[in-house]
Structure 1
């Protein structure tokens, strides 16, 4: 197990170095040792409701194709034709039918990855059984699809149980019963670790998120959890009912939220690329896709009870735009950090004792990258 080194500066521990924020070589190593070995959040199960629906995602340095077979089971493959190496699919979507056909020479594969057609060749002239698509591990949790490129990785639920952020304690909110009302996509000029560190602490909240701390008073203190609660939740301010530009909107609460004594907020960073944010009326799921040492794509989904999404008289914009406002505030400060950590004057970052979840991030990272 990696250990945290205490810097000579009293009260501070060492975080990432300038090279770890900027080096292409280190980034490539991360894509292999971190994104190439862990379970990674890849998308929502609801995007694969029908046979022929496809999800094309980048996991580490690989393009992955995810779909459902005829029995409704998830399957995932490297997005590579076994003939000449062409990518099979360019984008996610629906209506592709029950075959995967390469756009180069029209070789076709079944939804199980078996090679079933090789135009202009006699059927027995090619040993099709040896040319099936290369599969990767895929599973689902709470309506979310996860992929692992490591064939020897632990089962997904066992892997989730080991997370310091305790994501499985959020299962009571039944995210799989919710419906996505929209997705925002942001291209961010920052390293994925800058984003992860930012999410893992709230010392910046009073300065960067004035609207948020007005709704969640404990965030003004720099804390991410509330000392008088044992469920890892934090309470909204008196009279506040949601994280939204409008209060008392008559939106249905998420499952189990009514069982709590107070309107509450919960969150978890599911290392290495997922954020889960639960508030009274919406679950916000965020997915990081690292593109380079200084570029990350962020996908954000906004999940509500199905009854809310189906009721066109309800206005979801105040809730979605509030979350997006907080995202944009975080993006701006993370891009500011990325510009700073590129300076020749910058050696490494530091964490205070209040940034304990940043410490956990560093420990996990060091144990895998070294």
Structure 2
């Protein structure tokens, strides 16, 4: 045990040195992307202590519906109870540790461990355990709970005993932004999981900038204004930029008057539970992130009557980003698998009453982000191949187009520094 403790202390010292030597405004040192030791600390200090986005309430639409997710080596079960409350538990039977539910999703009256049929209700209480003898108290063997917050239909869990309390600030700020889209009244029309052969931080860094978009995302940029991404101001007055800023102000005023909060809130590197949001206009028809920029679903969300409500973006540290439009929602969840392997899970939500083949097609709904995700996967994988090279050294971020990448890196390094001491 002493040898293990000494080794753990040595690893922590190495990571502290990396953290302390990190140069602001530059990409991270190679071990942050490639080291198993750093990855293990990431899983403990980042994914084990912060609020992690895992899914949406429509993943478990009815009482008894459940979904499973894995955070590192921690199997988690999320279930909607008979009281309609959504709860999270460690997906570990209190008998001998088998997973209670092995499928990705399902529906059940009670949760029955397949090994010895220990049976729990959807509140996690042990109801039945045969052959346990006198003196056995089922109340002492309930499923172990995991903290869960439902943010207007967006589900976050925290594995820590004492989760970051400032997440309540995120909930208070984001609920008015998300609630008009009525996530609870949607359904998951499609889900695509891809495995990127790269470190999870490269996935997140890639998402936090659109410097790369012009040359790599022809489908996505159809619906984006050129001034909304990859834009470096030139010297003097730029009439195009001024007109774009004026349009933003006008659209924000219109949307705010409709009860749709739109202004930017940016707390990516100044909060433990870092996040950012803003509603931005879309180009051309301005309705959705599709090849035509028109709605992908004829039946709009909630009680919307206007199809051109732009796109509400919502980013969270450390593992998610989301786009809310009038007709559909796209959510993204990033889950690390190993130092060089990351799961990216994308879900498309539409009105729960929309009919596939009548109101929408999955191909049209998913096309833009399916292509974009695959393009990003290649970029992340090329970056991973480079950062493990002896030639790699941290390079400077653009002060115009990569400021939010710096905020992600600063948040990450800051959280390691705080957690490691």
SS in 1 for 2:191: strand
Gaps of 5+ in 1: none
For 1:238-257, list aligned pairs within 5 A. 238-239=284-285, 241-248=287-294, 251-254=298-301
How far residue 68 of structure 1 moved from its aligned partner, in angstroms, is: 2.3
- In the other structure, the counterpart of 1:137 is 147
Going from structure 1 to structure 2, the CA distance change for 1:144 and 1:248 (only over 3 Å counts) comes to closer
Instruction: Please identify, of 229-238 and 327-336, the stretch whose mean Cα deviation from structure 2 is larger.
Output: 229-238
Residues paired across the two proteins, number: 359
1:36-69 deviations in Å (ceiling 9; x for gaps): 1111112221222333322111124311111122
Equivalent of 2:137 in 122, 127, 137: 127
1:208 pairs with 207, 216, 220, which one? 216
Matches within 5 A, 1:1-370: 13-98=25-110, 100-122=111-133, 124-154=134-164, 158-160=168-170, 169-218=177-226, 222-223=230-231, 227-228=245-246, 229=248, 231=263, 232-239=278-285, 241-248=287-294, 251-254=298-301, 264-309=310-355, 312=358, 314-354=360-400, 355-370=402-417
What's the offset of the Cα at 1:257?
6.8
- Secondary structure at the residue paired with 1:348? coil
Name the CA shift for 1:80/1:356 in 2 (closer, same or farther; >3 Å).
same
Give unpaired runs (5+ residues) of structure 2: 1-18, 233-240, 250-262, 264-277
Residues 212 and 76 of structure 1: CA distance in aligned 2, closer, same or farther (over 3 Å): closer
Q: Do the aligned partners of 2:186 and 2:350 also contact (CA within 8 Å) in 1?
A: yes
Deviation readout 1:181-230 (Å, 9 max, x if unpaired): 11111111111111111111111111111232233132675049964425
* Aligned counterparts of 2:306 and 2:191: Cα–Cα separation in 1: 29
Write the deviation string for residues 307-362 of structure 1: whole angstroms up to 9, x where unpaired: 43467254352231122111111111111111111111113243121211112111
**Normalising by structure 2, what TM-score?**
0.76
With the length of structure 1 as denominator, give the TM-score of the two structures: 0.86
- Once structures 1 and 2 are overlaid, which stretch shifts more, 293-302 or 307-316? 307-316
CA contact (8 A) 2:197 2:381 kept: yes
Distance 1:186 1:246 in 2: 25
Change (3 A) 1:156 1:54: farther
CA pair 181-221 structure 1, distance change in 2 beyond 3 A: closer
SS in 2 for 1:15: coil
CA 1:121–1:179: 2 relative to 1, 3 Å: closer
